[in-house]
Amino acid sequence: MSTVPSPAPASVAPHDRARPLAKGSLKPAKDLCSDCGLCDSRWVAYVRRACAFLEQRFEAMEERAHGRSRRLDDEDELYFGVHQRMVTARLRQPIEGAQWTGIVSRIGVRALETGLVDAVLCVQQSPDDRFTPVPVLARTPEQVLAARVNKPTLSPNLEVLEQLPGSGIERLLAIGVGCQIQALRAVQATLPLQKLYVLGLPCVDNVSRQGLQTFLESASRSPETVVHYEFMQDFRIHFRHSDGHQETVPFFGLDTPALKDVFAPSCLSCFDYTNAGADLVVGYMGATFGRQWVTVRNPLGQELLDLVEPELDLAPVTSTGDRRQAVQQGIDAYEKALKLPMWLAELVGVFVQRFGPKGLEYGRFSIDSHFTRNALWLQRHHPEKVEAHIPAFARKIVARYRLPKP
C-alpha cells in the first residue's frame, strides 16, 4: 500500500496567525498608546518593533523609506527631516470645507482618478459627531472628499489594514500622522500590496475625544458650535462655528493650568512632529499665513505632488525673525503654568505677530517649543524611556535650551 505524502505546510507569516486585540483592551504601549489602529488589525503581530511608543527607530525608517537618514549637521534636515524639495502652495480653487485649501484631498482624488492607486486610506467622520474619526479605504473620489478636514482626535487609521486581504487593493495611498506612519512603515513589507504611497500630515498636541471637549470648553466662547479650528501662524487659534462666524483666541490667553493634562500622553512623548517616514508631507506651519507647506522627501513624494502641481499656486519657502528668545520664555512660562489676563494676552499676541518668527522660522519655533516640553514630560513621567525614546535630532534641538529640573 502506497502512502501519499502530505504537502509541506506553506510558510505562515506571523500576521496570518494573529488576531486584532479586542476593542477597548489595554494596548502594549499602555498609557502612551496613540490608538493608531495597528493593534486593531492582525498586524498587531509586529507591534513590538512597529509601535512608535515602544521603540523609536527613526534612522532605520528613514533609510528604508528614503534611502538615507537625515543629515544632523544640515539645519533644515535637522528640523524638517529628509527632503529633496520644500515649497509653499495653495490650491487655486480651494476645496470647500477642507482644513486649509484641500491639497491633501485633491491629491487623494487625483491618485484615484489617474489610476495611480486602487484606494486611499483616509479618515471620515461619524454621522453623529463631527470630531469622531472613522478611518476608511476610500475607493471613489467622493469618499476621499468626505474625509476632508481634520478630525483633531486620536484616530485608529491602521485598523483598516484588516480589510486589505481579499479586497483586490494592490496599490494604496495612505494619509496619516507620524505615529500611524511609523507603524505602517514597520509592517509595510508584510502587507499584501504591490505599491504604497504615503502622504503625511505634521501633527502635535492631539487629544482623545473627551480631551477635545475640555479644550473646546476652556478655549471657545461657544464650544458646542465649533466645526473647525487651527493653531495659526498669527499665534491665535481660529475657530469656525456652524453658523459660519469666526472666533480667534490668542495662544497666550489659553488657560495653561487647566489644559496641561488635556493632550494625550502619546503626543506628549512624541518627536515625530514633521512625519519623518512619509513620502510627501503637507502642513502649514512652515508657510506664511493662508498658504500650505509642502515637503517632498523622495521621488514617490514628487510623484504625488505631480498629480496636483498644475493646479497649485506655488512659491518658495521663506524664513524671517528669530524664535530662540520666545521659545525660552515659553518654556519658563509653561513651567510656572502662567495664565495671562486676556488684555495682556492680546497685547503679547499683537507684538509677537508683528515682530515674531515667520515661515520656516515659525515652524522651528513650534518644533523647539514642543520638543523641549515633551523631553521634560518624558523625564518626569517616563524616565526609563528617555534614552531609547528621544531621537538624536530631537536631542540636538532640546540641548539648545535651558530646561527646568525634571
Q: Which residues bind ligand SF4 (CB under 6 A)?
A: 27-29, 33-36, 38-39, 47, 51, 53, 179, 183
CA distances from 143 to 112, 119, 146, 148, 364 (A): 11, 10, 5, 9, 35
Stretch that binds ligand FAD, among 198-206, 294-302, 303-311, 342-350 (CB under 6 A): 198-206
Q: Nearest-CA neighbor of 280 among 72, 37, 104?
A: 104
Quickly count: other Cβ atoms within 10 Å of residue 209's Cβ. Answer: 15
Does 148 bind ligand FAD (CB under 6 A)? Our answer is yes
Q: Residue 314 or 388: which CB sits closer to ligand FAD?
A: 314
Q: Does 156 bind ligand FAD (CB under 6 A)?
A: no
CB of 56 to ligand SF4, least distance (A): 12
Residues 6 or more apart in contact with residue 366 via CB below 8 angstroms? 204, 273, 285
Under 8 Å between Cβ of 238 and 219: no
Q: Which does 33 bind (CB under 5 to 8 A by kind): ligand FAD, ligand SF4, none?
A: ligand SF4
Grid cell digits, residue 13: 507569516
Give dist(CA 303, CA 13) in Å, integer: 32
Which residue stretch of 77-85, 149-157, 255-263, 379-387 sits at the interface with ligand FAD (rule: CB under 6 A)? 149-157
Number of residues forming the site for ligand FAD (CB under 6 A): 36
- With CB under 6 A as the contact rule, the residue among 100, 215, 235, 371 that binds ligand FAD is 100
3-state secondary structure of 286: coil
| Interface with ligand FAD, residue 358, by CB under 6 A | no
What φ, ψ does residue 281 adopt, rounded to 5°? -120, 130
- Contact flag: residue 184 with ligand FAD (CB under 6 A): no
Q: Which does 105 bind (CB under 5 to 8 A by kind): ligand FAD, ligand SF4, none?
A: ligand FAD
The crossing angle, in degrees rounded to 10, of helices 178-187 and 58-66 is 70
In the bound state with ligand SF4, the residue whose beta carbon lies nearer, of 177 and 262, is: 177
Q: Rounded distance, CA 286 to CA 158, Å?
A: 27
Which one-letter amino acid corresponds to residue 385? K
With CB cut-offs between 5 and 8 Å by kind, which of ligand FAD, ligand SF4, none does residue 36 bind?
ligand SF4
Can you give the binding site for ligand FAD, defined by CB under 6 A?
Answer: 95, 98-105, 122-123, 133, 147-153, 155, 157, 175-177, 201-204, 206, 230, 282-285, 292-293
